[in-house]
Amino acid sequence: MAIDITQFHETFFEESFEGLDIMESGLLNLDTGAADNDTVNSIFRAAHSIKGGSATFGFTEVAEFTHGMETLLDEMRDGSRDVTQTSVDALLQSVDCLREMLAASRDKTPIDTERAAVLKGELEAILASGTNGSTSESTHQEPATPSSESSASHEGWMIKFKPHHDMLRTGNDPVRMFRELGELGELSVVVDISQLPVLDDLDPEESYLSWELTLKSNVEIEKVKEIFEWVEDECDFVISEIKGEATEDSAKENITASIAEGEAASSTPTKPVNAKPATGAKTSASTDSASIRVSIDKVDALINMVGELVITQSMIGQLDCDFDDFDNSRMEKLRDGLTLLERNTRELQESVMRIRMLPISFAFNRFPRMVHDLCQKLDKKIELKTTGEQTELDKTVMEKIGDPLVHLVRNSIDHGIEMPEERLAANKPESGTIELNAFHKGGNIIIEIKDDGAGFNKDRIKEKAIERGLIASDEHLSDDKIYDLIFQPGFSTAEQLSDISGRGVGMDVVKRNIRELGGSIDVTSEEGNGTTFTIRLPLTLAILDGQLVCVGDEIYITPLVSIVESLQIKEEFVNNIAGQTELYKVREDYIPIVRMHDMFGIDVERKGLEGGLLVVVEGDGKKAGLLVDELLGQQQVVIKSLETNYKRVDGVSGATILGDGTVALILDVDGLIDLSRNPPTAGNKPDNLAREVA
């Protein structure tokens, strides 16, 4: 029965995109001049794996394009070609093209063959430009004297081929290679079985044999190499030319003398196409991945917790369920069992949530390339520093925070960091610095984007705000209020807008995206010394720490991170403006009162303010007081999407099911504050929504 290899496509694409990330990172770390062998080898192996997998699964165009990249990398790693900036730039562009080709193959869309052909031509031009004059290691030939070169004629090739033990596991079959080699000329094969174990110790998936192959043909050496190129990192492979005046015995002596060198120089085997490591870099070709890599430690912890649950269930199951004769001794055991069940369930929940957690390096990894490319385009010198790369956050948050981070970093590069001559004139280092930092604080993750550039000009921001009518000319604003203006739609202080960014253009989108994740963004800046953007995000969007509040007969959940304080209302602190807006004085601040029963159309017995409870909440830098009847307990709740299961409702971010089976709505604090300023229409007013959803 034929095997359907399409079932392996998803794994192949995942690992290919990981390989591209490895290639890109390695190329960015290459210094011009003599190549660093470890770095070039890692880049070469990634390209080799992509080429081999592409050919295996029938993605011929991808395999052919990668072959040119691999050839150039091969010359770098064997020392016959130095690393040049031209080569690095061409390979980086080829990585981009290869990423697009793989994405098109995955999505079954047409490949941009025109761009691939242009880049392939650039690689061929670099290859044709000459090398450093070193001899390729793969041939292991001693330089021939002029007299021997002129008198000897080429008759064929002698090949020593010794697979590594695990080569067969990658699906490579030596017999197929020999069959293809035989099509090039007259082939004789001698097998070495000296390493073959006794039958009881033989593993059919391991390779124990080696071969000496003699090919009588005047075919070029590149044709021979192409047959073995798919496995050259998974075997010891040495090839020697047979000349007319040489005998097979002398050729074998040459091979024997060089086989030790070939074995020592052999690389680590390429990872099999269908192997799945525990961790890996997220592909940057797709923003939303349908799969997730999980470390073995997290899986083991989950399995252990399931085992604990089984033990607890067995413990409770041993109790007699005859409640008419349920004595106190069994009641005590039942109480202990339920306590243990509660603890195990909580730990199981935490273990499951950890599976969704990924290091933020998955988001940070895209920035070295971006900084490299933009520095070349803008003629700037910038050093990128990252810290806290192993800080973990939810996969969903990770995918959605990527674009806002890109926008902020591009702004820092384009309009934050000055040109080198400007920095020198300001007694700054010629090279600017952008720092990305991530760390946990409380139940949130904090991401900082900091640059040592020019900083914001507060006077310029105020001038622009006055021009646009956002503030009055005599209005006094704190620094926080001034910086908050840059998040207004279309606001920018840039004299000229570039195709890279315009500081402020799109910043409203950045803030909105962060708010949709339940987060916030703050700005601090010092003119001449740089700017810091601080993003605060929840660790996960699936579970929420909430305060249960009662309004009439309904229960609502307010996110704990949004609550500032709760207080009993006193009539003397209530003020009315124009007979409509009610304000409550909290120390030196006045906050609007949001009557929850009016907002959600709920009948309540007490509609006055005296004696009511006010939950002071903060969202998007604004405060409000939610008028509720009663404060209930605090608990973690699992968020269910209201829009997916019902419809979008202003002022509500989701719903959850409480322990008694009733539905409780989760409040959107930012939305409620906006609604308090712009009350909903009758058609969109969520009257008794919890009962309707239930």
Give the model confidence (pLDDT) of 5-25 as tens digits: 677 788 888 888 888 988 888
Helix (H) or strand (E) holding 18: helix 9-28
Instruction: Say what the pLDDT of residue 500 is.
Output: 55
Cα torsion 442, 447, 451, 456: sign: negative
Torsions phi, psi of 455, nearest 5?
75, 175
Examine the residue annotation and report whether 48 is marked as an active-site residue of this protein.
yes
Right CATH for 5-128 from 2.60.130.10, 1.20.1530.20, 1.20.120.160, 3.20.20.120:
1.20.120.160
- Which CATH topology does 151-265 take? Alpha-Beta Plaits (3.30.70)
pLDDT at 255 over 50: no
Q: Which residue has the higher pLDDT, 297 or 642?
A: 297
Residue 6 is classified by DSSP as G
pLDDT at 434 over 90: yes
Domain positions in the chain: 5-128, 151-265, 297-355, 359-538, 543-693
Q: Which residue has the higher pLDDT, 437 or 141?
A: 437
Instruction: Say what the pLDDT of residue 326 is.
Output: 61
- Which CATH topology does 359-538 take? Heat Shock Protein 90 (3.30.565)
Of these residues, 41, 254, 344, 411, which one is catalytic?
411
For residue range 292-331, what is the model confidence (pLDDT) as tens digits? 777 788 788 888 888 888 888 877 777 755 555 666 677 7
Question: Out of 110-119, 139-148, 464-473, which region has the weakest mean confidence (pLDDT)?
Answer: 139-148
Query: Sheet of 543-551: strands edge to edge?
Result: 630-638, 543-551, 554-559, 663-667, 652-657
Residue 33 is classified by DSSP as B
Please compute the mean of the pLDDT values over residues 473-492 and round it to a whole number. 81
Q: Are 487 and 520 in contact (CB under 8 A)?
A: no
Query: Model confidence at 147, in pLDDT bands (50, 70, 90)?
Result: very low
pLDDT at 594 over 80: yes
- CA dihedral angle for residue 436, residue 439, residue 444, residue 447, rounded to 10 degrees: -10
pLDDT at 533 over 90: yes
For residue range 214-251, what is the model confidence (pLDDT) as tens digits? 988 888 888 888 788 777 778 888 888 887 644 444 44
Residue given tokens 């419809």 in the structure block? 647
pLDDT at 358 over 50: yes
Instruction: Say what the pLDDT of residue 327 is.
Output: 66
Query: Model confidence at 271, in pLDDT bands (50, 70, 90)?
Result: very low
Right CATH for 543-693 from 3.40.50.1220, 1.10.10.10, 3.30.1330.10, 2.40.50.180:
2.40.50.180
Of these residues, 15, 18, 24, 70, which one is catalytic?
70
The DSSP bridge partners found for residue 243 are 154
- CA dihedral angle for residue 680, residue 684, residue 689, residue 692, rounded to 10 degrees: 170
Query: Model confidence at 267, in pLDDT bands (50, 70, 90)?
Result: very low
Of these residues, 14, 41, 48, 407, which one is catalytic?
48
What pTM, to 2 d.p., does this model score? 0.57
pLDDT at 576 over 50: yes
CA distance 25 to 281: 11
Q: Which residue has the higher pLDDT, 658 or 421?
A: 421
pLDDT at 620 over 70: no
Examine the residue annotation and report whether 165 is marked as an active-site residue of this protein.
no
Instruction: Say what the pLDDT of residue 443 is.
Output: 66
Mean pLDDT of the chain: 78
Q: Are 591 and 579 in contact (CB under 8 A)?
A: no
Q: Which residue has the higher pLDDT, 379 or 394?
A: 379
The structure tokens listed for 493 are 């202080």
Helix (H) or strand (E) holding 385: strand 382-387
The structure tokens listed for 104 are 């098109």
Examine the residue annotation and report whether 411 is marked as an active-site residue of this protein.
yes
Question: Out of 44-48, 157-161, 668-672, which region has the weakest mean confidence (pLDDT)?
Answer: 668-672
